Amino acid sequence: MKSFLLTVDYDRDSYIALLDSTFMVRNWMKVVDTGVLIASWRTPVELTNFIHETFPTRIFIIVDVSGGVNSYGWLPPPAWEFIKSPVDAHKHMPDPAMPPLIPPLVPPFSGLPPRATPGSLSDLLGKDWKPE
């Protein structure tokens, strides 16, 4: 996961509402009046296109600040932690473009019969079957 800085022209709260509406943004943090740190698996281009579709006349920029390698300034320690190690807040459903974190379980046996549906037990055992 990467961390990005979104700097906006005005009305940061409308951008935050948009960030909350998508699974593309896994977490965010307010840092300054016109800026929001974002955690995402997506690229800056994908995030930019998503935001631009909603706000086509607004001015903003998204910068990759992952790891804090080329990032300098005066921010509170939690903001630097967010930049260096963004955390997935699990606010939304998993991003369908990303592989699952846990591989799907494989049944230990092959050739098992399909699961019974309600009412199918009498079909399997016969209508005249009675427990002993």
Tokens of 74: 């005066």
- The angle subtended at Cα 94 by Cα 61 and Cα 32, nearest 5°, is 30
Q: State the architecture of 2-84 in CATH terms.
A: 2-Layer Sandwich (3.30)
Lowest pLDDT segment from 40-49, 54-63, 101-110: 101-110
Q: Give residues with Cβ within 8 angstroms of 65, minimum separation 6.
A: 3, 4, 5, 37, 71, 83
pLDDT at 128: 62
Mean pLDDT of 36-47: 94
Q: What is the DSSP letter of 18?
A: H
Mean pLDDT of 50-66: 94
Rounded Cα distance, 113 and 109, in Å: 10
Query: Is pLDDT at 126 greater than 70 in this prediction?
Result: no
Rounded Cα distance, 119 and 116, in Å: 8
State pLDDT tens for residues 76-88: 899 999 999 998 8
Domain ranges for the chain, please list them: 2-84
Read off the pTM: 0.67
